[in-house]
Amino acid sequence: MNLILFGPPGAGKGTQAKILQDEHALVQLSTGDMLRAAVAAGTELGKKCKAIMDSGDLVPDEVVVGIIAERLEKPDCAQGAVFDGFPRTVGQAQALDTMLASKGKKIDGVVELKVNDEILVGRIVQRNQETGGTRADDNPETLRKRLVVYHQNTAPLLDFYAKAGKLKSVDGMAPIPQVSQEIQTVLKGWTEAGGGRFVR
Ligand code: AMP
């Protein structure tokens, strides 16, 4: 089963994707993590993307689509994946549909973590303090830029998936265990509706 966790930066997608990975046979596919690994490894791709990421902009669609295409070929993705931070543009979403369709697969559902932008900025400041500021894009200025980019480029995808009948929203401002519980309820609903076996 293939699932997308959707929401602005700092909404808790990564945290919830890891929980889903641990509880279900779903691999977390975070393009942000993959790009940061490329930057840390000093690869050509990493060098190309670092400045864009630090500024809070999106890296080009073909870069992330290429990364995901390569990753989906790995055997651990056979049981399905939780996409975290991808797709972020309509072009990426269309490319993802095409990639999955070529494997006889599809996006089975999209869960939006609904959050308040101002509270998000506060959370990022806290994350920055807790991690000692290891992420160059985890500061209030860049986050505001990333939120603008989210609303301009990524939020329109909500409509794309709503029209496809695949979108469910949960309260991303709730405590982490409660958000997890709400996501479980959504997955259970999809399972019962025959949309796929999300719950073991
Ligand atoms: P994230 O950790 O998902 O917030 O991603 C960190 C940064 O990596 C983003 O601000 C973008 O610069 C870049 N990035 C990650 N995923 C994507 C994507 N799907 N499309 C374009 N840029 C991305």
High-pLDDT (> 90) share of the chain, % = 74
From 36, 50, 146, 168, the catalytic residue: 146
Cβ–ligand 1 distance for 35 under 6 Å, the answer yes
The pLDDT tens digits of the residues spanning 17-61 come to 999 999 887 899 999 999 999 999 999 999 999 999 999 999 999
The pLDDT tens digits of the residues spanning 65-87 come to 999 999 999 999 988 999 999 99
Whether residue 136 has pLDDT greater than 80: no
From 36, 50, 88, 166, the catalytic residue: 88
Q: How far is the CA of 32 from the centre of ligand 1 (A)?
A: 5
The per-residue pLDDT of the chain, averaged, comes to 91
d(CA 22, CA 43): 29
Q: By the 8 A CB rule, do 56 and 146 touch?
A: yes
> All domains of the chain, ordered by start, with CATH?
2-115+167-193 (3.40.50.300)
| 144 included as an active-site residue | no
The pLDDT tens digits of the residues spanning 154-177 come to 999 999 999 999 999 999 999 999
**Enclosing H/E stretch for 167:** strand 167-171
High-pLDDT (> 70) share of the chain, % = 96
pLDDT number for residue 1: 86
Q: By the 8 A CB rule, do 109 and 190 touch?
A: yes
Phi, psi angle pair for 84, to nearest 5°: -130, 110
- Residue with CA nearest ligand 1 atom 19: 86
d(CA 166, CA 64): 22
Whether residue 200 has pLDDT greater than 50: no
Cβ–ligand 1 distance for 168 under 6 Å, the answer no
Q: Which of 31, 142, 145 to probe ligand 1 with, by most ligand atoms within 8 A of CB?
A: 31
